[in-house]
Structure 1
Amino acid sequence: MSNSFFKFKEFTVHQDKTAMKVCTDACLFGAWVADNLEMSRLKNILDIGTGTGLLSLMLAQFSQAQIDAVEIEPMAVEQARENFQASKWTNQLHIHPTSILEFAKNPIKTFDLIISNPPFFEQQLKSNNSQRNIAMHSNNLTLTELAYCIIELLADSGKAAILLPWNRTEEWKAIAEKLGLFCIKETAVKQTTTHTYFRTMLIMQKKASMVNFSSITIKDGTVYSKEFIKLLTPYYLAL
């Protein structure tokens, strides 16, 4: 059974009310985004599908930006709100209990950074847990809809960061490019040196540019890799 909370160096994520728990690839993604962008320059950040609020909290640790977090699942909204209120960044963090499709219809502003760990799977076998299905399956939000929303809400000079299953990377890039959203950095993720790639972390923008490709392995044997340790040291208590 998963722990009811996950304690980081500067904040705690309670997760007893949500189906999707704190996971290593999401933590890596948040740390990677913070490491690859000039966080101090950001004024407005949007977190699409915030869940527990993990990514918003990770970015708030290194940013003075106002962070708007959108979440459709009611229990996740309640969980994220509680996690935000318990943090030291309550004045920066704002939860919106709605879908990103509705949020994008009447945008309150454009964003310097949009971050999302979106629903992964389309038309695949679902569980009996309706909360988990909303979080994991993209019937409620397709990749095309996600791309449209990002284009609508992203500032012309802004960046969008997306975490996806590795096998959906090319599908996403093709959809995004047709709408005018281009990849500028792509990092493929392995669990260990003996595993194949299972996630891809991407940074997108509205202007086409050369793509910076890289890869990272979470564990080297039974211990975290040097690259992973470098990224997660500001967050993980054990590092």
Structure 2
Amino acid sequence: MKKSILASFLLVPALLLGACNSGDDTEKSSSTDSDKEVYKVGIDVTYPPFEFEKDGKYVGIDVELIEAIAEDQGFEVELKAMDFKGIIPALQAGQLDVAMGGMSITDDRKKVVDFSEPYFDAGVSLIVSDENTDIESVEDLKGKRVAVKKGTVGANYATSIASEVGFEMVQFDDSPSMFLDVQNGNSVALFEDYPVISYAIAQQDLPLKIVGDRLNDDQYGIGVLKGKNQEILDKINEGLENLKESGEYQEILDNYLAE
């Protein structure tokens, strides 16, 4: 799931992404080797195909990717599940070493986060009920209610055009609640990252459909606290490059996105 809004510098992420949600910190990572560095990685497990829970385990593109990078670079990871809007504040508070969650590389986030090289090309899509024949573009949202997920690029995009187009925006903490709001007819549409909604519609047989082409260009990156963890970032970039060269990176994507 995936994204997708400043009195002082330290308040930027709080305003953009909301307060940190302590969430469920139950550790579901494998046991670690005492002689290896262990990095705490924040993820949002309501964001398939990138991060979700299946049979009591955390799985998805981001999970497999960071675990493969860790293996390649000789460190271990502890996966920490939390609301997406809390990941960067937790990074700032020292509760995390690494931020993931299908996190889009944006200028606002770059103020507090150093990003890896991009690892996925995404983009925001407009979604409506599969029975809706009235909404054919964002211009048709005038006077309507639109659902978004807090702290995402989709929410940022909606905010940037809401006044011009003239629609009401309602925000949710997770993607499933946002999907359900449109399914139930409370909102006429939603904005979501293209790979996330495509996967959700196909895997869950959701009565939703994508309208038109992607609305922007968007890339995901892996983040560390700005100016503080260059060593970790170097390992991530080197591991990512090695995985791409070996073909393992593409294998991970194909596990979840191949048709």
Q: Which has the larger radius of gyration?
A: 2
Structure number having the greater helix percentage: 2
TM-score interval, smaller chain: under 0.3
TM-score, normalisation: structure 1: 0.27
